[in-house]
Chains A and B, each alone.
Chain A
Amino acid sequence: MIAVALKGLAARKVRAVLTAFAVVIGVSMVSGTFILTDTMQKTFDGLFAASYDKTDAVIDGKEIVKNSTTGNGVTVPASLLTKVRALPEVGSASGTVAPEEANVADIIGRDGKAVAKESLGVSIDPANERFSPLAIKTGEWPHGFGQVVVDAGTAAKEHYKIGDKVTIATPGKRAQYTLTGTASFGGVDSLGFGSIAVWDVSTAQSLLDREGRYDTISIAAKPGTPTADLVDAVQPLVPSTLEVKDAAAEADEQAEDLNTGMNYVRYFLLGFGGIALFVGAFVIFNTLSITVAQRTREFATLRTLGASRKQVMRSVVLEGLVIGLLASAIGLVMGFGIAKGMLALFSALGVDLPEAGTVFALRTIIVSLVLGTGITLLATLLPARRATRVPPIAAVREGSTLPQSRLAAHSLKAGLGVTLSSVAAISAGVFASGLSGMAVGLLLAVGVIGLFFGIALLAPRLVKPLARVVGWPARRAGGVAGELADANALRNPGRTASTAAALMIGLTLVTVVAVLGAGMNKSTESAVTDQLRAAYVVDGEEGVPFSADHGNELAKVPGITAASHVRSDQALVEGEETAVTGIDPATIGRFYRFDWVKGSERDLGRDGALVTQDYADDHNVAIGGKLALQSPSGEKKTVVVRGIYDPPVAKALLSQVSIAQATFDDAFPNAKNTYTFLDGDKDALAALNAAAKGYGDATVHTGAAYPKDATKDLSTFLAMLYVLLAFSVIVSLFGMVNTLVLSVFERTRELGMLRAIGMTRRQARRMIRHESVITALIGAALGLGLGVFLAALVTQALSDYEVPLSIPVTSLAAFTVVAILAGIAAAILPARRASRLNVLDALHYE
């Protein structure tokens, strides 16, 4: 039977490949994700290793607040370096200037704008090169005040040559420096997202506000001295604001943090690969069901020759196995291509990732093969069982229809049952309180998958009414071809339904994303409109706070009549890491509308705090209550709650805890702004834009446009989701092509008859095309309907978050058009085949 199965596949190679492709896409997404994330992880691990490669111990500031965006501002006095060098355990030591704050050394390009989104400014001690992850690539290290070295990637991008003058903006100063060389970081030309400017130590200290100080001291132990001893020796010298750490441990810790982050990305992407695989399984199930039905006589003959049911089962399962293996192998290779493609895409979007060797782990190969083959086998099981039910008597003409599967009679009950229990599961996951994240995820996943199966079971009964609606254009405007197409779709509602169901899955998810996205966009926009009244808004690039100096400069632009700055950073409030804003009580009220529950910003005073209603409820705080605050630099303050307000949850512009700006600037070492609100006349816009051109970290928006601008990040995220879901839609396209090709094959004689009685080739093509579009539209109707339903459920559950149910009619219309186009595209191959039939041969076809 093995030979029979294999030869069967070989004889129908094109069909086998088309079937296999349903799974290829899903497997390639899975393998591509692994390869991409593995490569990125290895690259970053490599960078961390390079940073601490020849270092045994590191002295730097204690990290009090983990996620501070402005740094702890603690520096290491140069005197400490002298003391450390004097220790017998120390082989060599060197200090480095490398401020944690973002964008302290923006390289300004010829167009006046910063060349990179982020910038780093560091020092190099050529005598102690070993401690730096930087290595000189061309030219030499800078000596003296006027010289700089730049990372090789930026130099290449901006076409800098050695000897060129490079303009760099450091805090409070913008000057030109002579380029003496280019450097690589950890063996890599570019850190991707940022530019690196390198000065000698004294220059860096003066430019970056580190006179007489360093950010870190790197130490190498004398050969033969264990790192633990080194650390013990240095420990007593280190004041309480600093700490000394084992460099290797430090590197591991940083790598660990990155790996956790990378895992989130990995599982997120794998989820979409899983969806594509799920749709692929559906398509394989559908295709195999059709081919089994078409091979009824073949299976029956085998049974009359003495094949047992087990042998028949094994032969079909073997076919599935071969298709699965083939698909997995192709998918694996394609995944490699996708990973490379993604890296190129990042590059095109301006995020140059450090290039390192692509990681093709054994795990990737095994998981891809197992998943792809396993899913295919699972999808094969049911059709294989149907094949065993073919009675031997079907070998003679009379009895040659496939017996109805035992389930078919109960499909209505089963369909309703599965659908209702799935809706119950989803509702439980969405509405029930007190469930762990994992339980919710499980309920939702099982519920949604079950819902798809349930609808697929019910779909055959929905085909008739749906086809009546979506087939109307075909019937009216399609002529005979359209009418026949409409009738054909109803002929085998089960088959039409399962083909449409594959498309339904992708479209449901896309619709859910669209509807929820529209709701979130709306709530964000109205939240901003409710809170903000300003002619102009300045915010940080990608949510990262920008320099207060930039904010002040913009406030001084001619035409600006009023300004209010908002500082922000993470701090420990009552021991818990919380975002804290610093506002100016005198000016904030003009721009920000507080929805007061109690008190007002005028009561703020130097030691006051404003908290949101949610914060007050969660932490049991009332007016007059005291909050202990600790900034990233360790500075402690106690603030008294003087006002409670209730901002819109969707996008609160201020953090849960706000204090007076003067107090903020006092406590936080590198206070930066999240917003600067400005009032002024229309003409000020040009001046503002001109001033902000050189700022890499801040963007100017008009107050009218800001509600929309604030949703930009969300829109980008939604677009990415659409792309990821598009893969699943493509898989279902393959399913539609498969089904159509098989059905044309099946109807060869009938098509021959139609042509013989006068149907033209064009009419035949149109008939097939109409069938395809009708099927696709049924899938769209099911998908859009289901998607809106699910989105409505989620919206209801999110009612606390004030997300409205907003149906994006344009998007939904677009999806319908996409479905129609998909139908037309899927019909191209089968329609050609139908029109090319040799009439005489077709009439005699058995």
Chain B
Amino acid sequence: MSITPLVRPVVVQNGTTPEAVVSARDLVRRYGDGDTAVHALRGVSLDIARGQLTAVMGPSGSGKSTLMHILAGLDQPTAGEVTIAGIDITNLDDTALTTLRRDHIGFIFQFFNLLPMLTAAENIALPLKLAGQRPDPQWLEELVATVGLSDRLTHRPSELSGGQQQRVAVARALASRPSVMFADEPTGNLDSTTSGEILTLMRQSVDQLGQTTVMVTHDAHAAAIADRVLFLADGDIVRDRGPSTAHEILETLEEVGSR
């Protein structure tokens, strides 16, 4: 079976394209040494385009989560470089990474990761407060309206349903208008109806706010809203598709899974 070659990024002088918010070059991630070493990534390169929703898919063990962790600065590659918004993050110290997270990165987690003792409103404003910024009330209002939580602002996470919690998380991620938003299995803990709502929200944020998004998922329906779907298997990118239907995605998954 022929394999579509890896997409070659459009390379410019300093290794990033003006349209690429996140760039990775020859990422290798190895755990352990010698015979028992685990190769999670075997030399992955990619560019994430601005204003697009890129999905990263693959069977378990494919390295998709590892890839996202490295792209997001949560983990260090064994070899290779990552650039976010023109900044080489591979060897940044903790303080610089913290600043990076404040200014350029937003997160959505599978288990929502809201702070249980804060209200929805406080959770949303938290990243801005951490950065020492005073949140613009108009912007927050717009956000809250967009995610549809206007009547739930004073509730604590324990008083919200799973879907509502994830909406708070989306609002929180968008609040600081980050250069890139990383979503780790955002629908993994939601039923299909609620998943649909969250996916619509994420698509909306890309279309209306131009929010660059990278989503790791095993859910074909989730990947179906993406502008680009990358497929990983055994630590390599094996497929690179444009917008696809869930059906096409499932077929591709089967294809790469049987290698």
**Beyond A301-B113, A305-B130, 14 extra complex contacts between A and B, CB < 8 Å:** A11-B117, A301-B115, A304-B74, A305-B101, A305-B107, A305-B127, A306-B130, A306-B131, A306-B176, A391-B74, A392-B73, A392-B74, A396-B65, A396-B109
Say yes or no: A3 contacts B122, CB within 8 Å: yes
Is B110 an interface position by the 8 A CB rule?
A: yes
Q: Taking each of A1, A302, A305, which has the highest tally of chain B beta carbons within 10 Å of its own beta carbon?
A: A305
Give the distance in Å from the alpha carbon of A301 to the alpha carbon of B73 in the complex.
14
The chain B residues found within 8 Å of chain A, CB to CB, are 65, 69, 73-75, 94-95, 98-99, 101-103, 105, 107, 109-111, 113, 115-118, 122, 126-127, 129-131, 172, 176, 184
Closest beta carbon of chain B to A249's beta carbon, Å: 64
Residues of A whose CB lies within 8 Å of any CB of B are: 1, 3-4, 7-8, 10-12, 297-298, 301-309, 311, 391-393, 395-398, 846
The one of B94, B109, B126 in contact with A395, judged by C-beta atoms closer than 8 angstroms, is B109
- Rounded to whole angstroms, the CA-CA distance of A308 and B95 in the bound complex is 7
Distance in angstroms between the alpha carbons of A670 and B101 in the assembled complex: 89
Q: Do the beta carbons of A4 and B118 come within 8 Å of each other?
A: yes
A1 contact set on B, CB distance < 8 A: 130
- 11 contacts across the A-B interface (CB closer than 8 A): A1-B130, A11-B116, A11-B117, A298-B116, A303-B101, A305-B126, A306-B176, A309-B94, A393-B75, A395-B74, A396-B65
B256 vs chain A, min Cβ distance (A): 22
Instruction: Give the CA-CA distance A305 to B116 in the complex, in Å.
Output: 15
Known A305-B127, A393-B69: A7·B117 in contact at CB below 8 Å: yes
* Contact between B98 and A298, CB atoms less than 8 A apart: no
- Pairwise interchain contact A8-B109, C-beta atoms closer than 8 A: no
- In the complex where A301-B113, A846-B111 touch, is A7 in contact with B130 (Cβ < 8 A)? no
Distance (whole angstroms) from the CB of B204 to the closest CB of chain A: 22
Task: Using CB atoms, name the residue of chain B closest to A393.
Answer: B74
Partner pick for B65 among A7, A8, A398, CB 8 A cutoff: A398
Residue of A nearest to B127 (CB): A305
Q: Decide if B101 touches A306 in the complex (CB within 8 Å).
A: yes
B129 smallest CB distance to A (angstroms): 8
Nearest opposing residue in chain B for A395, CB measure:
B113
Task: Please tell me which one of the listed residues B102, B117, B129, B184 contacts residue A396 in the complex, with CB atoms under 8 A apart.
Answer: B184
Please give, as numbers and ranges, the residues of chain B lying within 8 Å of A302 by CB-CB distance.
115, 130
Please name all residues of chain B whose beta carbon is closer than 8 Å to the beta carbon of A846 when the two chains form the complex: 111
Given contacts A11-B117, A308-B98, contact A301 B109 (CB under 8 A): yes
| Measured CA separation A339–B109 after assembly (Å) | 55
Across-interface contacts of B110 in A (CB, < 8 A): 396-397
Chain B residue with Cβ nearest A7: B117
* Contacts A11-B117, A396-B184 given; does A304 touch B107 at CB 8 Å: yes
Per DSSP, are chain A's interface residues mostly helix, strand or loop, or mixed?
helix
Residues of A within 8 A of B102 (CB): 306
Q: Collect the chain B residues with CB atoms within 8 Å of residue A311's CB.
A: 130
Docked CA distance A679–B105 (Å)? 98
B99 — which chain A residues lie within 8 A by C-beta?
306
Closest Cβ neighbor of A12 among chain B residues: B117
- Which residues of chain A come closer than 8 Å to B126, judged between CB atoms? 4, 305
Query: Within the complex, what minimum Cβ distance (angstroms) separates B218 from chain A?
Result: 14
Answer whether A396 and B130 are a contact pair too, CB < 8 Å, given A3-B122, A304-B74, A306-B98: no
Q: CA–CA, A398 to B29, complex, Å?
A: 16
Report whether B101 and A397 are in contact in the complex, using a CB–CB cutoff of 8 Å. Answer: no
Which residue on chain B has the smallest CB distance to residue A306? Answer: B102
Give min CB distance, A316 to chain B, whole Å. 14
Check A396–B69 contact: CB distance below 8 A: yes
* Bound: A4/B127 CA distance, A: 12
Q: How far is the CA of A276 from the CA of B116 in the complex (A)?
A: 34
Cα A10 to Cα B117 in complex, Å, equals 8
CA distance A604 to B162 in the complex (A): 100
Flag if A397 contacts B111 (CB, 8 Å): yes
A544 to chain B: closest CB distance in Å? 64
B259 to chain A, nearest CB (A): 24
- Shortest Cβ distance from residue A838 to the other chain B in the assembled complex, whole angstroms: 15
The complex places the Cα of A396 from the Cα of B65 at a distance, in Å, of 10
Complex Cα distance, B95 from A303, in Å, reads 11
A10-B126 Cα distance, complex, nearest whole Å: 18
Q: Point out the residues of chain A lying under 8 angstroms from B65, CB to CB.
A: 396, 398
Min CB distance, A806 to chain B, in Å? Answer: 56
Residues of B within 8 A of A301 (CB): 109, 113, 115
The answer to whether A306 and B127 have CB atoms under 8 Å apart is yes
- With both chains docked as a complex, state the minimum distance between the C-beta of B171 and any C-beta of chain A, in angstroms: 13
CA distance in complex: A705, B115 (Å): 70
Query: Contacts A309-B94, A396-B65, A398-B65 given: A304-B101 contact, CB under 8 Å?
Result: yes
Q: If A303-B98, A308-B95, A396-B184 touch, does A7 touch B118 (CB 8 Å cutoff)? A: yes
Chain A proximity of B245: nearest CB distance (Å): 28
What is the CA–CA distance of A4 and B117 in the complex, to the nearest angstrom?
8
Q: List, in ascending order, chain B residues with CB within 8 A of A308's CB.
A: 95, 98
> Hey, which chain A residues are within 8 Å of B103, CB to CB?
306
Give the distance to chain B from A92, nearest Cβ to Cβ, in Å: 76
Q: Which residues of B contact A10 (CB under 8 A)?
A: 117
Please measure, in the bound complex, the distance between the C-alpha atom of A7 and the C-alpha atom of B122, giving whole angstroms: 11
- Which of A7, A11, A304: most chain B Cβ within 10 A? A304
B94 surroundings in chain A (CB, below 8 A): 309
> Out of A4, A391, A395, which one reaches B107, CB within 8 Å?
A395
Q: Give bound CA distance, A588 to B95, whole Å.
A: 87
Chain A residues, CB < 8 A from B105: 304
| CA of A302 to CA of B113, assembled, Å | 9
CA distance A391 to B73 in the complex (A): 11
Choice from B117, B122, B130, B184 contacting A307 with Cβ under 8 Å? B130
